[in-house]
Amino acid sequence: MTTAELHTLTGAYALHALSDEERADFEQHLAHCEACTQESAELSATAARLGLAATVTPRPDLRGQVLRRITTVRQDSPREPALSRTGRTAGARRWLLSRWALAACFAAAAALGGTAVWQHQRAEDAQEQARQADQDNDRIAAVLAAPDAKSDSAQLGDGANGTVVVSKSQDRSVFIASGMAHPPQGKVYQLWYDDDGTMRSAGLMDTTRSDQAVLLSGGVDGASGMGITVEPAGGSKRPTTDPVALMRLPA
């Protein structure tokens, strides 16, 4: 694969859409290409924030339509902004919007289960909750966009999928679930770090959402894996049921 071809893989890499061979070649390329490293991190953060928004079920033909459009619509090259202050501001905004639009197209093409959409704040009494949610999302996005972030994905059963992303430099990890069934009434999914066979609580999942990203509580601190159990509302100090899923943490 040529260097020119590798430069075009930032979006697919950010969405974990490369084959093992392509991923290995691109990661070698990242070690020597600062521009691709920065763009991959930005697209990872963008896709993560889009994935944290509400989802809607797309039309059956949406994915094929997006993939066809991608092959026919050429991305504009960066242009010199206008000399006036107003022109510079407008040009910068258009450039930023084009970057977000591109990332949104990538996310729509790869999501398979749904299309992420942004939600505007609807009432003043929800502003504080929205600010808190933004802070949580920023912490999650920071892990996903970390230069040393590594991920591993697995099928969790009943059509659900899970991805765990680990950043050693931040000593944090994020679990991203897609299509998980809601737990029984009065129960909650609890996350655990696996410390050489000893399970350490890493937080609770939202019982109302089947698609979500969760920042695991506490540092990775040498844990080799993570698990998910069904626990009473509020969680447990120790697992009380067999794990519904076990995943290794990427090295």
| C-alpha to C-alpha distance for 51 and 55, rounded to whole angstroms | 8
The ranges assigned to domains in the chain are 3-120, 135-248
Residue 120, class by beta-carbon neighbours within 10 Å (0-12 exposed, 13-18 middle, 19+ buried)? exposed
Q: How far apart are CA 15 and CA 200, in angstroms?
A: 29
Q: Tens of pLDDT along 3-51?
A: 767 778 887 887 777 888 888 888 888 888 888 887 777 777 666 666 6
Q: pLDDT per residue over 47-101, tens digit each?
A: 666 665 545 556 667 667 766 776 666 655 555 444 445 545 555 555 444 455 5
pLDDT at residue 203 is higher than 80: yes
Of 57, 49, 40, 12, residue with least CA distance to 139: 49
CA distances from 30 to 11, 13, 77, 103 (A): 13, 11, 21, 19
Tell me which of 157 and 193 has the higher pLDDT.
Answer: 193
What are the backbone angles phi and psi of residue 183, rounded to the nearest 5°?
-70, 160
